[in-house]
Structure 1
Amino acid sequence: MAGGDRRFILHFDWTLFIVVLALAGIGLVSVISASYTSAHRTLDPLVIRQLIWIGAGIVAMLIAVLVDYRALQAYAYPFYVLVIGLLIAVMISGHATGGSRRWINLGAFHLEPSELAKLAVVLVMVRYLREEPPKGGWGLRHLIIPFLLLGIPAALVLKQPDLGTGLILVLITLTLIFVSGLNLRTMLVLAMAAMLAAPLSWHYLKPYQRQRLVSFINPQADPLGSGYHIIQSEIAIGAGGPFGKGFLKGTQARLNFLPEQSTDFIFAVFAEEFGLAGALVLLTLYAGVIARGAWIARHARDRFGALLAIGLTAIVFWQVAVNIGMATGMLPVVGITLPLVSYGGSSLIAMMAAMGILISINTRRYLF
């Protein structure tokens, strides 16, 4: 075996790899719970598909580990253009479910381009921000291109409509701009602009999105309509108590009271069955991924690798924060999955590929 191969294996980030697999395992257990019915003793098709996607995700993660992350600089813009093309294709001939047109039907697999958009936005932002900022930090004129790069996919995603993913794209971009060296004056201008734009954005929301924001303040105002999601999720989480009801014993999911129980509200399914103790374990695993990502960013050998690690970690951080905030009633329901845990092929494979890139950044600091 060559010396380089030995060093690669020796410095492979087993910690991050194992934590990612643990989260995927918790996701599989939760999907089993969310789809279980006592009438059927065989595995639900949802579970079988999730198993296949976990396998595909592991392959994607290992491929990403083998790729030198520095090569991604050359493919950032082509990948971005490809994703924009896929988002446009969704608008034209996408598969619609539940009032949203988000998927491209590929036969055995429904591709959700908005999941790829998160990776595309991270790559192009890092590609643009990889140079050191001017003295004093990035000014407003330097941010015209980043905001244009954000605006195109964000507008296409919001058109589907997918408010949750649109929000995540904005938060990822702001995170990267902030850590890459933002001018203090520009930061204040952006904060003021955001406060002024918030009331105006109300007019561009769909009626059901407005109702969800209203129900966030007072879910009991419409307990069987827009407030239903939050109320049932809070009931499930509260019913779990300290140690939960036990695997496959959660009544909210079993009796189908909990909506979107395998995707947006899978945290409530897990918390009901495994209680506060299980929820803390899950949060600790996420904290481990985020802390490891921050550590990798700090120790990366180049600015591109550091910013890329921050961007990929930001995807996990913001999705976890928004999803759990949504499930616990601390944030409005905007529709966002719990990374590596919620049911879904595109989200799972894309997220595991992102974790593979993180491992690649950490491993290669020993190789060059």
Structure 2
Amino acid sequence: MSAVLHQPSLARRIAPVFQGFDGFLAFAVLLLACAGLLTMYSSGYDHGTRFTDHGRNMLLAGFIMFVVAQVPPQRLMFFAVPVYVLGVSLLVAVMLFGVTKKGATRWINVGVVIQPSEILKIAMPLMLAWWFQRREGQLRTLDYVVATVLLAVPVGLIMKQPDLGTALLVLAAGLSVIFFAGLSWKLIVPPVIIGLVAVSLIVGFESQLCADGFDWRVLHDYQKQRICTLLDPTKDPLGKGFHIIQGMIAIGSGGVGGKGFMQGTQTHLEFIPERTTDFIFAAYSEEFGLAGNLALIAGFIFLIFRGLAIALDAPTLFSRLLAGAVTMIFFTYAFVNMGMVSGILPVVGVPLPFISYGGTAMVTLGLGLGILMSIARAKRLMQS
């Protein structure tokens, strides 16, 4: 009787909740999170509660990751269309009666002020993965055209706000799904060649294109200024070029080994603008140097390769496309942020994952990690 009534231990009861969690992915995230907390403690020491808030945001992201990881990929597929429709509807509402701050209309008041474009970072790959799953085995050119339209609508609405950084992330997530779905290289190579030619022409005719009064038509004035500042930040070193110049100075002054934790002069003398958000990589580079940068980049590479491995082993087309797209979101975040701080890409509002301060971005990262964990967990449970 005692054997029949014997209750399993608490550890055995909660073990199924953690069964299938990807340890390699969790390890990579933990290392990056530790780097983020160290950097935030130093760069945000005089920014009130930024360090504690950053830690709280990380805990919130971890909780979201844990919850989403319990949802099977098949159930995630159920949310694809509703979340996409909700996100696009809110973007239209923002265009009609959104909240304007600093010349940009990106927010809407629904009792609380939210930024709907953030929803599309996850909703876009969900929707496209759902679409290609439905068309599996019978893909035609028209299906890629429909996918392109589904992607172009929210990207266009976000660019109109204007919000180039978020539009770039949503575009990258959507294009990743389309590419992984099997888009022909014949359709990929021509736009790449056109893009390279366009960049070459912009660099070659920089003086004429960036002259006062020249109309770029398709770009807003501030977007034109960002590109022209990237090409030659010394033209306005105390104005539009200040961010790039100070970022490069901080990165270069860190040398090989860095100046040491809490010893960054560019950081603590407040020469680095937005040193806890978009330009936190400059603060990190100054204190930890080239060695620290290589370690950080290695952490991101490990995270990205682990995400791609999860995508490769995913049991269904939907989960494979979704995992690949989420992984490429992490890549785009890191590549664009490091590139803009280093002066090789225009300055856009893209944070560095797990390092930069920001609650909304951290929630998005938590959702993405939860999706990867869910897909990895589903595969492992099937094998067991």
Q: Structure 1, unaligned stretches of length 5 or more?
A: 38-42
3-state secondary structure, aligned to 1:146: helix
| Aligned equivalent of 2:377 | 363
TM superposition shift of 1:81: 1.4
| Aligned equivalent of 2:308 | 294
CA distance in 2, matches of 1:88, 1:56: 29
**Residue-by-residue CA offset, 1:174-216 (whole Å, 9 max, x unaligned):** 22212211124333455467679988x9422121211110121
| Aligned equivalent of 2:24 | 15
Contact kept in structure 2, 1:253 and 1:269, CA below 8 Å? yes
| Aligned equivalent of 1:40 | none
The TM-score with structure 1 as length reference comes to 0.88
| Aligned equivalent of 1:85 | 89
Q: Flag the 1:246–1:166 CA change in 2: closer, same or farther, 3 A.
A: same
Contact kept in structure 2, 1:300 and 1:365, CA below 8 Å? yes
Moved more, 49-58 or 23-32: 23-32
Mapped pair 1:320 → 2:329: no
Q: Structure 2, unaligned stretches of length 5 or more?
A: 1-7, 203-214
| Aligned equivalent of 1:282 | 296
TM superposition shift of 1:101: 3.3
TM superposition shift of 1:267: 0.7
3-state secondary structure, aligned to 1:365: helix
3-state secondary structure, aligned to 1:243: coil
TM superposition shift of 1:68: 0.6
Q: Flag the 1:243–1:138 CA change in 2: closer, same or farther, 3 A.
A: farther
TM superposition shift of 1:95: 4.6
1:173-184 equivalences under 5 Å are: 173-184=174-185
Q: Flag the 1:32–1:89 CA change in 2: closer, same or farther, 3 A.
A: farther
**Residue-by-residue CA offset, 1:19-50 (whole Å, 9 max, x unaligned):** 2233223223322322223xxxxx72222322
| Aligned equivalent of 1:125 | 128
CA distance in 2, matches of 1:347, 1:251: 28
Contact kept in structure 1, 2:159 and 2:167, CA below 8 Å? yes
Identity of aligned residues (%): 39
CA distance in 2, matches of 1:274, 1:162: 31
Task: Letter of the 1:32 partner, please give it.
Answer: Y
Task: Letter of the 2:124 partner, please give it.
Answer: V
Q: Flag the 1:106–1:248 CA change in 2: closer, same or farther, 3 A.
A: farther
CA distance in 2, matches of 1:275, 1:364: 40
1:1-368 equivalences under 5 Å are: 6=15, 9-37=18-46, 44-92=48-96, 94-104=98-108, 111-130=114-133, 131-132=135-136, 134=138, 138-139=140-141, 141-188=142-189, 190-191=191-192, 202-368=216-382
Q: Flag the 1:338–1:79 CA change in 2: closer, same or farther, 3 A.
A: same
CA distance in 2, matches of 1:267, 1:163: 20
TM superposition shift of 1:4: 11
The TM-score with structure 2 as length reference comes to 0.85
Q: Flag the 1:229–1:162 CA change in 2: closer, same or farther, 3 A.
A: same
**Residue-by-residue CA offset, 1:126-178 (whole Å, 9 max, x unaligned):** 111224354xx753x32222122112211221122111121222222222212
Task: Letter of the 2:288 partner, please give it.
Answer: F
Contact kept in structure 2, 1:245 and 1:275, CA below 8 Å? yes
